[in-house]
């Protein structure tokens, strides 16, 4: 589905407000960190697809920034959730 740029901006703004409220209201918890990381992935993917314009080009060009985003956020999640003894 092709979204309008205005809708993309609205979603990015809403997800940013969500992230801010988690921190500002001190609601951040072990469970909500994964929700925050998923919302960060969604934001990054929207920027890659609609702002950078990679949704309209062949997958081989779009996949690299997406893989970067998945890898970095996964490594952050691993660092957060691994029990201390494993480190």
Give contact residues for other proteins (rule: CB under 8 A): 5-6, 8-9, 12-13, 16-17, 19-20, 22-24, 28, 33, 36-37, 40, 43-44, 47-48, 50-54, 56-59, 61-62, 64-65, 68-69, 71-73, 75-76, 79-80, 82, 84, 87
Q: How far is the CB of 38 from other proteins (least distance, A)?
A: 11
Which tokens is 25 given? 């209201």
What is residue 13's DSSP assignment? Answer: H
**Other C-beta atoms lying within 10 Å of the C-beta of residue 12:** 17
Q: How far is the CB of 46 from other proteins (least distance, A)?
A: 9
Distances (CA, A) of 75 to 9, 31, 33: 27, 16, 13
Q: How far is the CB of 22 from other proteins (least distance, A)?
A: 6
CA 14 – CA 42 distance, rounded (Å): 12
């Amino acid at each position: 589905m092709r979204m309008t740029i205005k809708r993309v901006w609205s979603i990015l703004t809403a997800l940013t407000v969500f992230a801010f409220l988690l921190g500002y209201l001190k609601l951040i918890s072990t469970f909500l960190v994964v929700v925050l990381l998923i919302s960060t992935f969604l934001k990054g993917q929207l920027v890659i697809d609609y702002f950078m314009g990679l949704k309209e080009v062949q997958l081989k060009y779009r996949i690299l920034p997406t893989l970067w985003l998945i890898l970095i956020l996964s490594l952050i999640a691993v660092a957060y959730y691994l029990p201390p003894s494993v480190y």
